[in-house]
Amino acid sequence: MSISQFSSNADEAVSNKMTPDQKVVLGSTTLGFTLDHMDATFLSFALAPMIAELHISGAQGGIIAAMSNWGALIGSVLFGILADRIGRVRVLSYTIILVTFATVILAFLDNAHTIYASRFLLGMGTGGEYGVSMALIAESFKANKVGRISSITAIGGQVGAILAAILATMIMPAFGWRGLFMIGFLPLIVVYIVRRHMKETPEFEQLKSDYQSGKKKFSFAYIANTPKRAYTSFVLIIMLTIQTAGYYGLMNWLPTIMRKQLGITATVTAGYVNLGMIPIIIGMAIGMLTFGTILDKIGPRIAFTIFFIASALMIYAFTFAYNMWTLTILGAVVGFFSNGMYGGFGAVISRLYPSEIRATAANTLMGSGRAIGAFSSVVIGWIMDHYSVSAVLMSLAAMYVISLVFMLTIPDFKKLGTLHK
């Protein structure tokens, strides 16, 4: 897909047929993803010099990368429950404030343990935002648009990653990795937008009324209140675990992997490796919009199958790349397929679970997957210390095959393929 086609599809998805409230939902959630992911992705570029300055091991660096995903488990459950009880919009403000605080304070820390705590808090904020945003989108748009709209919102995260790459290249040579985290206050802008222009959806207002009248009541157990729903939740956690392992494993370690493949020392002077991440992130963004469009047209079962198979093959091919051009092109293709699926999970979960647990389900499943998948950063750091880049990439490729096998066992995925008709 060309850039012009990408822009055309995006314009079509956000055409003037949207109501003013829909535009606010899309704009606010996308901007929130952009700035939150910008803050979270700073670590991808700061990790190597951070390891060198603080004299920590690759495994400890992996723990730093993983802490945000473990924090996401707590934040996702906490903020998911709050969003289903007190409202989606209010909770979005809380999560953005938490992300801002956790990012800025990291610039003043000087040991691994306090950095662990900072990244844990950041994960609580970003983990809480995902399900709340997906619930808002599901309640604001028709079912046959949710895949594309949720993918556009997720693309905001990739825009944030591009901003992180540009800012890292501009700031780190002069001010180091600490200077990079100092600009993490930018998400505060979103607080103003969310509070002034967003309002709760009619579906949530009806849900709140049903709570007050006693017609409905919140129960966390609804996530697994039948054998089929329990199995669906279990498989989705496995898929999200592998998605996290692939996404954050690549985003946190790909600059380091590229330096190892190219034989470049881990210094801030390797700025062109940071810039080399931009085509990869663009590949992810185009993949997300493509996946969302396919998801709406043919359903999740076929869409996920195509992207899982392609992800495994492209990651395997990455092991044969040893120059900057090949690494960048293959990285963009890997990003297109492996991370293109990210926004689709929110669309699928929003269709599988009712409104009274929609945010809770999305956040809990995503948070659980992120918490378990976060160990991949530790494992990748350990493999990098003891084995080779090829071993890392082969392991990631195998995981996507495993995810495909589990996905094909979810019975409701077949039914979701007909919702757009």
Yes or no: say if 329 and 337 are a contact pair by the CB < 8 Å rule.
no
Paired tokens of 77: 């459950």
Nearest to 203 by CA among 99, 337, 354: 354
Per-residue confidence (pLDDT) for residue 400, from 0 to 100 = 93
Q: Please tell me the distance from the alpha carbon of residue 354 to that of residue 164, in angstroms, as a whole number.
A: 36
pLDDT score for 194: 67
| Topology (CATH) of 19-210+222-416 | Growth Hormone; Chain: A; (1.20.1250)
Count CB atoms within 10 A of the CB of residue 83: 29
| Cα–Cα distance, 251 to 376 (Å, whole number) | 12
pLDDT tens-digit profile, the chain (421 residues): 444 444 444 444 455 478 888 888 888 888 888 887 787 778 878 888 888 888 887 778 778 877 887 888 888 889 988 988 888 888 888 888 888 899 889 889 888 889 999 999 988 988 888 888 888 888 888 877 888 888 888 888 878 878 888 888 889 888 888 888 888 777 777 766 766 778 888 888 888 888 877 787 777 778 888 888 899 999 999 999 998 888 767 766 666 666 666 665 554 434 555 566 677 778 888 898 898 888 888 888 899 999 999 999 988 887 776 677 777 788 788 889 988 887 788 888 888 888 788 888 888 898 888 778 877 767 777 877 787 777 888 888 899 999 999 999 987 777 766 444 4
User: What are 259's two structure tokens?
Assistant: 């330096």
pLDDT of residue 236: 93
The pTM of this model reads 0.74
Helix 188-197 vs helix 20-54: crossing angle, to nearest 10: 160
In the prediction, which pLDDT does 406 show? Answer: 94
Structure tokens at 126: 């970003």
Q: What's the confidence (pLDDT) of residue 274?
A: 57
Q: What is the pLDDT of residue 338?
A: 85
Separation in Å, CA 241 to CA 192, 313, 375: 33, 19, 9
Secondary structure of the chain in HEC code, one letter for each residue: CCHHHHHHHHHHHCCCCCCHHHHHHHHHHHHHHHHHHHHHHHHHHHHHHHHHHHCCCHHHHHHHHHHHHHHHHHHHHHHHHHHHHHCHHHHHHHHHHHHHHHHHHHCCCCCHHHHHHHHHHHHHHHHHHHHHHHHHHHHHCCHHHHHHHHHHHHHHHHHHHHHHHHHHHHHHHHHHHHHHHHCCCCCHHHHHHHHHHCCCCHHHHHHHHHHHHCCCCCCHHHHHCCHHHHHHHHHHHHHHHHHHHHHHHHHHHHHHHHHHHHCCCCCCCCHHHHHHHHHHHHHHHHHHHHHHHHHHHHCHHHHHHHHHHHHHHHHHHHCCCCCHHHHHHHHHHHHHHHCCCHHHHHHHHHHHCCHHHHHHHHHHHHHHHHHHHCHHHHHHHHHHHHCCHHHHHHHHHHHHHHHHHHHCCCCHHHHHCCCCC
Encoded tokens for 182: 């100092």
**Hey, how many other C-beta atoms are within 10 angstroms of the C-beta on 247?**
22
Sketch the domain layout of the chain as residue ranges. Answer: 19-210+222-416
8 A C-beta contact, residue 61 and residue 266 = no
Predicted confidence at residue 120, as pLDDT, reads 93
